[in-house]
Amino acid sequence: MPTELLRKAVDIQLEACQGMDTPFYAGLFACAHAAADDDGLPFWSVMAPWQGGNPIAAALPLRLLGAIHDLILAGRAPDLAAHYPSEDHSGNAEAAWPILNATIEREREFVAGRLDDGLQTNEVRRCAVLLPGFFEIHRRSGGMPMHLGELGASSGLNLCWDRYRYELGSTTWGDDDAPLTLATKWSGAPAEPEPLRVLSRRGCDIAPIDLSVEANRRRLMSFVWPEQPERMKLLARAIDVARREPIDLVKQSAGDFVDAFLSQNTSGAVRVLYHSVMWVYVPRQERERITRTIRAAGAEATADAPIAWLRMEHAERDRAALWLDFWPGAGEEPERLAHCHYHALEVEWFGA
């Protein structure tokens, strides 16, 4: 019988998928829930030996389904693909369930190896939430250019945010001929565009993804739920954009990256640290270290060399929020600029 933590990890994903209108994955997790007493079932048995920590925090069931999706994208599971969602049909979870287990058994070595890969969705539409935050930083800095540092940058797609075009309700920003347009349902005060300028951009990840490798591109795509073809298309276009120009990514912990980034003296520009839906994956002690480091640097910031900390992270069960600290002048608590959908399908803007 699966451990209580593993069963709970599946049930949490079942509830999340139901709440985010992803019925196919919800159906697969419902099948797993119904078969939770069968510890010999490949779905459960392949996860049982995993020693990577807490399966809930690691979203282990989503890692498993990512591995399966990778096999489908690679053409290694055509019988299963016939029951998966596509542009032509919505998929059939109950019909897929026994074939999925047979696929896990046949590809056990590959699937078990993929369980050690952290979840990296690199959801590019989140840039539509971050962008108005960059507008706010530009206003508060008096129009200064930016040095960008992204934590948990994965393959760096969200480091390229200024190469995309945006439709934030009635507000548009970016070049009309940009290869990718990101649109979101907007409520609240209209976003007020600013002429943003990026001087440098760098990101860190404990396992950065090299997009020049086809298997890595497919792995990144595999973490997108197959019943969301629009997300798949956006990701594919963003990958094309990122491959056109080199992205400065380093394999480094977030804490060490923050130390190095904030040690640079950048008079006449604002240093911006930002991240989106990565904080929960950072160990508690490192989160505390990062917070101390940023706040200590913020206390020393000047009007000529300001520091901003922008992040889109968990707020409540079914929504995230956008927070901002800007120094000099930040208070004890960060400002909540917006509420938003986790995939940035909707933004409720509060502003400053």
Is residue 234 situated within a structural domain? yes
133-136 long-range contacts (CB < 8 A, ≥24 apart) are: 133/274, 133/310, 133/312, 133/322, 133/324, 133/337, 133/338, 134/161, 134/194, 134/196, 134/272, 134/310, 135/191, 135/192, 135/193, 135/194, 135/196, 136/324, 136/326, 136/337, 136/351, 136/352
For residue 64, the model assigns a pLDDT of: 97
190/43 Cα distance (integer angstroms): 47
- Note whether 184 and 302 are same-domain residues: yes
Q: State which residues form the domain around 107.
A: 4-114
289/7 Cα distance (integer angstroms): 32
Which of 52, 84, 114 terminates a domain? The answer is 114
For residue 175, the model assigns a pLDDT of: 94
Compute and round to an integer the Cα radius of gyration of the chain.
Answer: 21
State what percent of residues in the chain have pLDDT above 90. 80
H-helix segments, 74-152 = 78-81, 93-106, 108-114, 127-140
- Note whether 290 and 259 are same-domain residues: yes
- Note whether 90 and 175 are same-domain residues: no
Q: What is the pLDDT of residues 221-237, one digit of tens each?
A: 999 999 888 888 999 99
- Note whether 107 and 148 are same-domain residues: no
- Note whether 324 and 234 are same-domain residues: yes
188/70 Cα distance (integer angstroms): 39
- Note whether 98 and 167 are same-domain residues: no
Nearest to 135 by CA among 181, 193, 185: 193
Domain count, the chain: 2
Reported as a pLDDT band with limits 50, 70 and 90, residue 39 is confident
- Note whether 164 and 298 are same-domain residues: yes
- Note whether 142 and 79 are same-domain residues: no
- Note whether 110 and 137 are same-domain residues: no
184/295 Cα distance (integer angstroms): 32
Q: 51 vs 148, 187, 244, 255, 268, CA distance in Å?
A: 35, 44, 38, 24, 48
- Note whether 131 and 173 are same-domain residues: yes
Please give the mean pLDDT across all residues of the chain.
Answer: 93
Query: Mapping DSSP to helix (H, G, I), strand (E, B) and coil, where does residue 21 land?
Result: coil
- Work out the average pLDDT over 141-153: 97
DSSP 268-332: TSEEEEEEES-GGGS-HHHHHHHHHHHHHHHHT-BTTB-EEEEEEEEEETTEEEEEEEEESS--S
- Work out the average pLDDT over 278-301: 95
Is residue 119 situated within a structural domain? no
Is the backbone peptide bond immediately before 193 cis, with ω within 30 degrees of 0? no
Q: What is the pLDDT of residues 238-251, one digit of tens each?
A: 999 999 888 899 99
**In the predicted model, is pLDDT for residue 194 greater than 60?**
yes
State what percent of residues in the chain have pLDDT above 70. 99
For residue 92, the model assigns a pLDDT of: 96
Residues in the chain: 352
**In the predicted model, is pLDDT for residue 281 greater than 90?**
no
Which of 114, 138, 159 terminates a domain? The answer is 114
- Note whether 94 and 145 are same-domain residues: no
Structure tokens, 303: 């009007």
**In the predicted model, is pLDDT for residue 122 greater than 80?**
no
**In the predicted model, is pLDDT for residue 2 greater than 80?**
no
- Work out the average pLDDT over 17-45: 91
Q: What is the pLDDT of residues 85-114, one digit of tens each?
A: 987 788 999 999 999 999 999 999 999 999
For residue 158, the model assigns a pLDDT of: 95
**In the predicted model, is pLDDT for residue 120 greater than 80?**
no
Q: How many CB atoms lie within 10 A of CB 191?
A: 23
Which of 61, 90, 114 terminates a domain? The answer is 114
For residue 1, the model assigns a pLDDT of: 53
